């Protein structure tokens, strides 16, 4: 089976002024496509290494599958949890869970903002639902696959690789993260939460 790159669910310029059209073009059409192609290639090479009983080589392709596969999964979520009609605060079960877990929406926002700004190098700030614990968690990912907590289902992911913001925000990652809250599609985040939460 071949993984494919789905089109953006809105126009490239739809998230202006918070995220510019050129960044969206490069990010989706070049960077995300690179992960899709990298994943398909790594899976094929892994299969070849397995058939050749070359498990030293398989180790390399397993790591490539983790990198490109996680990159593909996180970007697929990323496009859908943004919207030109985004921003504000979540209501309903997710809004309640955020308040119960973090004390208030503002405190949640402070924590997620700090965690995202503090990612060392390239990575992601993530709000996840841990299926084993039955609890919301704020996590970081370095690259796409490092620092993963097993059992954590990503609900909201904020890409802080430089390709996500450097054209518009240069070195000012905190300005990009602040602006990002204006495009969060809380309806989609809530729908992801409803799919996995026990409440
Ligand atoms: Mn990216």
Write the burial class of residue 109 (CB in 10 Å: 0-12 exposed, 13-18 middle, 19+ buried). Answer: middle
b/e per residue, 21-50, with b = 16+ CB within 10 A?
Answer: eebbeebbeebbeebbebbbebbebbeebe
Write the burial class of residue 163 (CB in 10 Å: 0-12 exposed, 13-18 middle, 19+ buried). Answer: middle
- pLDDT value of position 148: 84
Q: Does the pLDDT of residue 96 top 80, yes or no?
A: yes
- pLDDT value of position 1: 82
Cα distance between the two ends of the chain: 35
Q: Does the pLDDT of residue 72 top 90, yes or no?
A: yes
Report the separation in Å between the CA atom of 158 and the middle of ligand 1, taken as the mean of its atom positions.
Answer: 9
Specify whether the CB–CB gap between 125 and 140 falls below 8 A: yes
Tokens coding 127: 């709000």
Tokens coding 52: 């050749």
Report the separation in Å between the CA atom of 193 and the middle of ligand 1, taken as the mean of its atom positions.
Answer: 22
What is the pairing mode between strands 135-142 and 152-159?
Answer: unpaired
Report the separation in Å between the CA atom of 129 and the middle of ligand 1, taken as the mean of its atom positions.
Answer: 21
Report the separation in Å between the CA atom of 51 and the middle of ligand 1, taken as the mean of its atom positions.
Answer: 33
> Please, which pLDDT band fits residue 199 given cuts at 50, 70 and 90?
low
């Amino acid at each position: 089976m071949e993984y494919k790159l789905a089109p953006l669910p809105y126009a490239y310029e739809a998230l202006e002024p918070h995220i510019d059209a050129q960044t969206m073009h490069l990010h989706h059409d070049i960077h995300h496509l690179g992960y899709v192609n990298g994943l398909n290639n790594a899976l094929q090479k892994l299969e070849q290494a397995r058939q050749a009983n070359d498990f030293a080589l398989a180790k390399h392709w397993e790591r490539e599958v983790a990198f490109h596969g996680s990159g593909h999964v996180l970007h697929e979520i990323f496009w859908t949890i943004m919207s030109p009609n985004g921003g504000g605060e979540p209501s309903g079960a997710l809004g309640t869970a955020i308040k119960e877990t973090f004390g208030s929406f503002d405190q949640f926002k402070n924590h997620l903002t700090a965690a995202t700004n503090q990612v060392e190098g390239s990575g992601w700030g993530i709000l996840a639902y841990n299926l084993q614990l039955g609890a919301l968690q704020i996590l970081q990912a370095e690259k796409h696959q490092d620092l993963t907590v097993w059992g954590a289902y990503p609900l909201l992911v904020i890409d802080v690789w430089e390709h996500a913001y450097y054209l518009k925000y240069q070195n000012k990652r905190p300005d990009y993260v602040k602006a990002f809250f204006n495009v969060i599609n809380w309806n989609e985040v809530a729908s992801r939460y409803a799919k996995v939460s026990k409440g």
